[in-house]
A and B are shown apart, each in its own frame.
Chain A
Amino acid sequence: MYVIIAGCNRVGASLVKKLSEEGYDVAIIDRNESNFSKLGNGSNCKTVTGIPIDEDVLKEAGIEGADAMAAVTNDDNTNIMVSQIAYKLYHIPMVITQINDPEKQKVLADTGIKIVCPTALTMNAFFDELNGGKLEV
């Protein structure tokens, strides 16, 4: 399995680490080369410096023939655009994108692209705890 990650921040770097440990082939894209230092020493994943919404950059990362992609940059709009390029233009079967603004998820409704919304996850976890702990208003 070949996986491409867009965005070498805490999430991206952790994904790379975990995926590599489990034996996946991984490539990671970030516009700042210095961010690859987050991967730590001994990481043998492919690093590509560039803007992930550029098809040339995606091709360099091996998008043609990739099995899965995760778009986890810090910019919602970049993630939404990259995931659509991967899913609709390159037909990558499994595409997961991080969107922080819960309302913006609507753009990808009915597309088949999987969405992770940290804001909604945190909210839900918080309210589950509140109610589970029986804290009433």
Chain B
Amino acid sequence: MIVGGGNVGYYLTKSLSTEKHHIMIIESDYSRCEQIASELGSGHIEVTNGDGTDIECLREAGIYYTDAFVAVTGHDQNNLIACQLAKKCFGVKQTISRVKNPKNIRVFKKLGVNSVVSSTEGIARVINQELDLTDINSLFQDRSSSVRLRKIVVGQGSTFEHKCLRDLGLPKGLILIAVLHGNQAVIPNGDTQLEPGDEALLMGSETDILNASSQFKR
């Protein structure tokens, strides 16, 4: 059972589908459910529209038959509560959760989630190991993908200066992975502000990055 039908849930389902698992995805957005169902729906992949942190919804989605429970919504609190409900109310043995804030890895483990995965932490670790960005980009290129990772310095007088991330209007496919502020690496959220001299790690298509970089610099 997978809670969360965003990008992570979608691709997770897609990669698991080849391995003969029976998968139930729970997603709160109805149109997203329809999309997943039409693209991935089959005899062994089903979609339920509902709140994965609601006991009734979990019951209706068939949680009693679950061998592994995976929570991959974009909200850490929802992932935690979904896993705890699965364990406490339905006796699911194996719970796996995604966290956005890497500090929550410790919290989730202490609060009983079996496995905790943080993509932010994974990427931060790669950066800390000072693996050259070109190496990462060649990794993407090997997979013939258009995704690139770029580091851009926020210029003095940039249009993004002193602005909150949520107000920058960055395109949907472009992700700001980390902001390097002095010797601090900040995992950004909507409230994060960019200061001149900050280094922004961006991931997205070459075009999106190029368009954004002019605004970062100006």
Kindly identify which residue among A50, A77, A89 contacts B77, using a CB–CB cutoff of 8 Å. A77
Residues 94-106 of chain B: 1 if any A CB is under 8 Å from the residue's CB, otherwise 0? 0000000101100
- Sorting the interface of chain B by its residue count into under 10, 10 to 19, 20 to 34 or 35 or more gives 20 to 34
Which residues of B, 79-113, contact A by the 8 Å Cβ criterion? 80-81, 84-85, 88-89, 101, 103-104, 107, 110-111
Quick one: given A89-B110, A104-B55, A106-B89, are A80 and B77 in contact (CB under 8 Å)?
A: yes
B89/A85 in contact, CB under 8 A:
no
Determine whether the beta carbon of B85 is less than 8 Å from that of A54.
no
When chains A and B are docked, how far (Å) is the Cα of A88 from the Cα of B107? 9
Contact B76 A106 (CB under 8 A): no
Q: Among B77, B80, B88, find the residue whose CB has the most chain A CB atoms closer than 10 A.
A: B77
Partner among B81, B89, B111, B191 whose Cβ is within 8 Å of the Cβ of A88: B111
B67 proximity list for chain A (CB < 8 A)? none
B110 touches A88 (CB 8 A): yes
Cβ contact of A84, chosen from B53, B75, B101, B111, cutoff 8 A: B111
How far does the alpha carbon of A84 sit from the alpha carbon of B113 in the complex, in Å? 13
- A77-B53, A89-B110 given; A51·B189 CB < 8 A: yes
Q: Quick check: A103 and B55 within 8 Å, CB to CB?
A: yes
Q: In the docked arrangement, what's the CA distance between A54 and B107, Å?
A: 10
Q: Is B49 positioned at the interface, with any CB of A under 8 Å from its CB? A: no
Q: Is B60 an interface residue (CB 8 A)?
A: no
A–B pairs, 9, beta carbons within 8 Å: A53-B101, A55-B107, A56-B103, A76-B53, A78-B77, A80-B81, A101-B54, A104-B85, A106-B85
Instruction: Give min CB distance, A31 to chain B, whole Å.
Output: 8
Judging by beta carbons under 8 Å apart, are B101 and A54 in contact?
A: yes
Taking CB atoms, residues of chain A closer than 8 Å to B215 are: none
Tell me whether chain A's interface is mostly helix, strand or loop, or mixed: helix
In the assembly, what is the distance between CA of A56 and CA of B192, in Å? 14
A50 to B54, CA, bound (A): 26
Please name 18 further chain A to chain B contacts, defined as beta carbons within 8 Å, in addition to the given A89-B107, A103-B56, sorted by A numbering: A31-B191, A51-B189, A53-B76, A53-B101, A76-B53, A77-B77, A77-B78, A81-B80, A81-B107, A85-B107, A104-B81, A104-B85, A106-B55, A106-B88, A106-B89, A107-B81, A107-B84, A107-B88
**Total interface residues on A, using CB and 8 Å?**
24
Interface contact A81-B81, CB-CB below 8 Å: yes
Please measure, in the bound complex, the distance between the C-alpha atom of A78 and the C-alpha atom of B101, giving whole angstroms. Answer: 14
> In the bound complex, how far is the Cα of B80 from the Cα of A104, in angstroms?
13
B77 to chain A minimum Cβ distance, whole angstroms, is: 4
Residues of B within 8 A of A50 (CB): 191
- B55-69 contact mask (Cβ, 8 Å, vs A): 1 or 0: 110000000000000
Q: Is A123 an interface residue (CB 8 A)?
A: no
Query: A81 with B76: in contact, given A55-B107, A104-B55, A106-B55 (CB under 8 Å)?
Result: yes
Min CB gap B63→A, angstroms = 14
| A99 to B189 Cα, complex, angstroms | 26
Chain A residues 65 to 118 lying within 8 A of chain B, measured CB to CB, are 75-78, 80-81, 84-85, 88-89, 101, 103-104, 106-107, 109
Closest Cβ of chain B to A85, distance in Å, is 6
